[in-house]
Every structure is written in structure tokens, then in C-alpha cells.
Structure 1
Amino acid sequence: MKPKTFHSFPRLPKELRDAIWALAIRPEQPSAHFFTIFDSSKDDEWTELSKLAISHPLVSRCSLAAPECVLDGPAQRQSSWVRGNRSAYLMDSGLWTACTESREAIRRRFKVAERDMKGAAVDLETYRETHPDAPASVSFTSDGERRCCLTHPRTDLFLLRPFNATTANWEYLDIRVPIFGLIELEGFHVDYVGHVAIDYDPDWLRGEHRDMPMWQYSWASPGTIGFAIRAATDHLSWAENLWFVDYRIRRRPGGVLPTAGSRRQFHGNGCKFTEVQKGDAGWELNNLDWERDIFDFLEELWDRVNEYFHDHGEGSPYSDEPVSHYHAPNVGVLAYEEEC
């Protein structure tokens, strides 16, 4: 019987090598990415997070950093690009630097070459319409290795967690984070993000410290409640949709979910986020029947956002008129699920 031999990878036919590289790349589907946001203009925050921040030639200080990881043992705050990171960008970030063939495979899959618009005379609005999923890339350093982070700003989900909820500034985040630029030209970038998400805290309805109800808070309040309210105003005018992720939501045993494709889904590295609308029968919103659910929070949020626009001379604090025409994002709810 002849011994079986395995040729080293470089000796395989080019077509087979390309097929193997293609299998190593994440699927083409709306993806989910986790990041920490901070105020890079503040020296104390920059000193603490600069080594974990992404790099981009358009800005010297980027306000996007590695997400916090889940640690075993005593609770402590630690961020990592690799440990516990459920972001889709991590699935193939190493392929950018593995070799020329792996990098070419990613470029083919995500059509990265199509966004090389430097020096070209283009109509930006037309480009948005004809290239709705143009990718954007930045780099980060992990364990001394330079890696690439590829996202699709128009269709992917960016789950952003604040380093400091009081100082995190939604208004200037798009300027300090070029990854949110759909098109990059010499000295110019266009901001147009499809989906931003933040974690929902059930305590918000009871007050951040359970000391007073949410209606006593406003967009100017410090802490995470003010952070959430500001995200639902024109401070987040550079994003089309704002999602609140409620980790209490579970699939109802035997429940019928909406038809596939009728609700948005975003896939991370071993997890997914699914849109939940009020009245969807296939979901259990919380574990306690008497507890108010996230849609009660959205009603309170609506009032706080209307008060914000009234404070700024637009509309009535109790208006039923949609705030979207004031450049505020659409607001929705996502459930989080583990995937095998």
C-alpha cells in the first residue's frame, strides 16, 4: 500500500489555495462588532487607552478602542482586542498580514479595491447609492502584531460601550473615528453609519442608582442614562439606526418567530443579534411578569428626546410627531443569542 503524502500548502495548486483561503474568511452577511468609545481629546483617557486605540492616517487620536473582555474571578475592568472579543472583524483580521494570497482573498471577497477612490472625482451622494456596502478598514496592535479591522459601515452593527458615559461625546465621535466614514478621499471622509447599538440597562427605568425614576433625568444628565438619551437625539445624526440590546430577552419555547428576513440580524464571532419588535410573540421580554420591559423604556425615552428638541427650540415636549426629521436616528431593540 502506497504511503499517503500531504503536500505543503505552498505546493498546492493556486485554485485550491484560493478556495482554502476563501473558507477561512467570514461569510458575507451583516456583521456585529464590539468597541470601546472614549474622549480621545482628554489626556487622562488617551493615556489609559492609547495603546488599545485603533490607528488611522486621518486622525492622530482615534476615539475607538478595544472592547472590554469578560474575566473570570473577581470583577475587574480590562480591555482586549483578542480575549473574549465576539466581534466579526476578529475572525479574519490576521489574514490581512498572513501572506499576499490571503490578503488578495479578502480583497476579492469584500471588494476592497472598489473603495480606492483617492484622487477620483466622484459625486458622494451617487456613490452612496451605488455602493451601499463599501467597506472601511483600520488597524490595531495586539501582542505586538499589527492587524486589520474590516467593517461595512452601512450594513454592519457597531456595539459601542463607553469608557466614561459622562464624557463620551456622540456629536464628535464620527470625526474622531474614521472607521465610520463610508468613503475616504484625500483630506476628506463622509460619515454614514447604518447601525449603532448600546447595551440596555433595566435599572434606567428606576433611575441609575434606583434613587429616582427616569422621567427626572434629561439629555444633560451625567452617567449612562444621559448617555443613552443623547444617543437618541441629533447627537447621533451620523447614524441611521440606534439599537438597544436587551440581554434579558429570550426565545419563547415553542413560540413562532416572524418570517425569516422580516427582522434584521447581525452576526458576531459565536453570537448574533436579532431585531425584536413590540408584539412579537416568539420572545419573552423579561423573567418577571411585573417588571416593566424595554418597550416601556422606549416610551420614556421618547419623552426625554422630545424634551431635548423642545429645549433646543424645535417642536413640543409632548409631541407625537416623529423626531427623525430632526436628524435623530431610528430606535429599535435587539436580542442577543449565542451561536455554536
Structure 2
Amino acid sequence: MPETFHSFGRLPPELRDKIWKLAIRPGGPARRGAHIFSIYDGSGDDVDKAVVVAASCFKFHHNFSTYLIDGGLWNACKESRLLIERVFDSKKWDAVRDRRLRSHTGNPVQVKGEHLMPATGYFRGDDSTDRYFTVVPYRDLFCLQPEILDYFNCEDISKPDGVALGSTRWGFHGLQNIALEYDPAWGITVEKADLGMRHRLSIVESIIQPLFNAKGLSYVWLIDYRIKRRHYVPTKEETTERDPIIFYGSDRRFVEVLGNKWETAFEDKAEIDSSCDNFIRIMEEAIEHQLDVIEARLMSHESSADWNRVSRFLKIPHLRVLACEYI
């Protein structure tokens, strides 16, 4: 069967337009997407200069990124490019960002519907060609896959000269949702450690310290691929819970784990708790410990007013759990 339809240009314009629309991601920009971004060392041994890049088919996992569904429309032809520009209202949002860049204001005025403002970038594909992609920084999930966990750095994502996809330098307010794929070995490591030493573990510091540098980030999600839905009828109280946050990839969706609807308890062969819930509980304890240390230092050298001023701006992102469901 031929892979190329050479008579596509002879079809009526209305039919061609419908075909191009079928190539757009389901739900368009309004449905939360999920995207893989790899973090690799772009400058030798200097961890502080690790680079965040979009991944085409990197060495980690199958790329489920939503941006691959319709990214080809940017390059296919003029018709397809005009369509994807209309879907994401690119001209409107380009004008908004341009005004912000020229105004040089530190606190830009919010625009109605700004949560749908897209960002378009490109990466070098496996065939050495530039491939364009589009994300929605305020709504989408950015799944980071660092070569080593030391490369996980929220500051590089949120600072003005950081990743342009959500950078204030390019008219955005920063990314809202980033994720790491949870490794059960992390939970076993912290559970086996002495209670007083857990906050000093490298795995804990590698995740906790970047959170104190994150600006504008709302959530850091941990994806636990082991979690499955329970097969039971929810109680009346459970049916009144708020709807979970859901992010959609090309062949799966990531669902916020809420209530008792999920199997979340896991142990290794030695009956050591490796659940993501327990790991997050320990991480939150480490965050509280770090906050206590910061408060004690300020109170000993400055005053309670200084601590109150700092604490208002010290907003740590929430840690939450996502389950993966294939669709």
C-alpha cells in the first residue's frame, strides 16, 4: 500500500481542511497535554549548566508527548501551518507576548484566556531535521527525564533566562506542572534510613533543594506506573470529591490520585514500604525541616518581621501523585 497520497492537493479545500483538523491533538489546546522533556549535561561536568530539551525518541521511554501528535503540521505545507496557527490562536498570543517584551514590566497584566496561551519550539529530530512542537505552559504537564537526578533543577525552568517555553523573558509566567517518573528504589532508600538522617539523603536533597528555587511552579508530580484503579463502588462522600486533574499524552493519560479509588500500597520483598505516598510524606517532612532551619537562622540574626516577609514569598510547589492509564 503506498504511503503517499499524491492527489491530496486535488481534493476540495473544504475536505483538505477537515483532514488537517483530524491531525490536531484531541480536545485542542483546552485539554491538558503531557510532554516529555529530557535533561542532559550540555557542558561537560558542570551540573549547573544542564540543558532541558524536547525529546524525539530519546533513550528513556517511548515518547508519549502530545506535541508529537500535531507537530508535523508546522512543516507539512502552508495549509497545515495556517490551520494549526488558527487552532492555537498564535497571532493573538504572539501580539500579547510582543507587547510584554516591549513594555519591560515585571508584573504583566493578565489577559482573558491566558491559560491557553501556547508556546512553540523546535528540536533536532533523529533524521537531523528541525521538528516544531507546541505546548501550553500554564496547563500542560512537563515530564522531565534527567540523565541523572542531580540535573533536576526547577530554577533553570522558571528563571527569566531559563527554558523559553514558560519563561517570563518570553511573556509567560512560568510552568505550572512538572513531573518526575517515580522510582520505587527512592522510597526504599528513605524508608531504610534513620529518621534523623533522611533529610540529608542525596535522593531527598536532589528533589527538595530545587523546590526552594522554583518560582511560579504550582505542582511537582510523581508518576507511579504501578498504581491501578480499584474495582469498587465509591461511597456517597467520595462521589462529592472534586474531579481529578488529568493530563493526556498520545497513548495514555496521567490521572491525579485522589481518595481511596486507587491501589497505592507497595512493599518490596523485605516488606519495606516503597509506595509513592509514603515517599511524599517523608519529602514533606524534609521540607518542613528545611523551613524550620531557614526560620531559625533568620530569627537568630534578624527578626520575626524578616521571617514573615520571607515566608510570604517562599511558596514551595505541592507534591502530588499521578497514575498512568493507557488509552
Return the TM-score normalized by structure 2. Answer: 0.77
Q: What do the CA deviations read for 1:46-98 (whole angstroms, capped 9, x no partner)? A: 9xxxxxxxxxxxxxx882234496xxxxxxxx538xx8211111111111100
**What displacement does 1:255 show?**
4.8
**Residue pairs, 1:76-115, within 5 angstroms:** 79=59, 84-115=62-93
**Matched residues, number:** 293
**Aligned-partner Cα distance in 2 for 1:337–1:109:** 27
Aligned-partner Cα distance in 2 for 1:306–1:22: 49
Structure 2: tracts of 5 or more residues without a match = 299-310
CA–CA distance in structure 2, aligned partners of residues 85 and 301 of structure 1: 28
Please give the secondary structure, in 2, of the residue aligned with 1:179. coil
Measured in 1, the distance between the counterparts of 2:251 and 2:21 equals 19
1:37 maps to amino acid: I
- Return the alpha-carbon distance in structure 1 between the equivalents of residues 186 and 34 of structure 2: 24
Instruction: Give 1:275's aligned residue.
Output: 256
Q: Where do residues 54-65 of structure 1 align in structure 2 (5 Å cutoff)?
A: 63-65=51-53
Change (3 A) 1:79 1:176: farther
Deviation at 1:146, TM superposition (A): 1.3
Cα distance in 2 for partners of 1:113, 1:45 equals 39
SS at match of 2:295: coil
What is aligned with 1:330?
Answer: 318
Amino acid at match of 1:145: T
CA contact under 8 A between 2:65 and 2:249: conserved in structure 1? yes
Q: Could you say if the C-alpha distance between residues 13 and 324 of structure 1 is closer, same or farther in structure 2, counting changes exceeding 3 Å?
A: farther
Distance (Å, rounded) in 2 between the aligned partners of 1:314 and 1:267: 43
Looking at structure 2, the residues matched to 149 and 12 of structure 1 have their Cα atoms a distance apart, in angstroms, of: 27
Equivalent in the alignment of 1:248? 226
Specify whether residues 115 and 262 from structure 1 end up closer, same or farther in structure 2 by C-alpha distance, changes over 3 A only.
same
Counterpart in the other structure of 1:15: 14
Indicate if the aligned counterparts of 1:63 and 1:176 stay in contact, CA closer than 8 A: no
| Aligned equivalent of 2:150 | 166
CA distance in 2, matches of 1:30, 1:275: 13
Asked if structure 2 preserves the Cα contact closer than 8 Å seen for 1:229 and 1:305, the reply is yes
Shift of 1:180: 1.9
Q: 1:159 to 1:93 in 2, by over 3 A?
A: same
1:33-52 alignment, distance < 5 Å? 33-40=35-42, 42-44=43-45
Q: Does 1:266 align with 2:247?
A: yes
The whole-number CA distance in structure 1 between the counterparts of 2:45 and 2:283 is 31
Secondary structure in 2 matching 1:302: helix
Instruction: Using the TM superposition, give the Cα deviation of residue 221 of structure 1 relative to its aligned residue in structure 2, in angstroms.
Output: 4.6
C-alpha spacing 1:65/1:98, structure 2 compared with 1 (3 Å): same
Distance (whole Å) between structure 2 residues aligned to residue 314 and residue 262 of structure 1: 39
Q: In the TM superposition, what is the alpha-carbon distance from 1:312 to its structure 2 partner?
A: 2.8
C-alpha RMSD of matched pairs (Å): 3.3
Question: Over residues 187-229 of structure 1, what are the superposed CA-to-partner deviations in whole Å (9 max), with x where a residue is unaligned?
Answer: xx44421211112222323326x863575233x653x432222
Q: 1:327 to 1:314 in 2, by over 3 A?
A: farther
- In terms of fraction of residues, the more helix-rich structure is 2
Alignment of 1:203 onto 2:185? yes
Q: Tell me if structure 2 keeps the 8 A contact 1:207–1:214.
A: no
Q: What SS class does the counterpart of residue 120 from structure 1 fall into?
A: helix
Distance 2:187 2:130 in 1: 42
Q: What do residues 222-253 of structure 1 show as CA deviations (whole Å, max 9, x unaligned)? A: 3x43222234x322223111111111110112
Asked if the contact 1:250–1:285 (Cα under 8 Å) also holds between the matched residues in 2, the reply is yes
TM-score by length of 1: 0.74
Which residue does 2:166 correspond to in 1? 180
Q: Which residue number corresponds to residue 140 of structure 2?
A: 156
Q: Residues of 2 paired with 1:329 and 1:152: CA distance?
A: 19
Map 1:275-314; keep pairs closer than 5 Å: 275-277=256-258, 280-288=259-267, 292=273, 293-313=275-295
- Match of 1:50? none
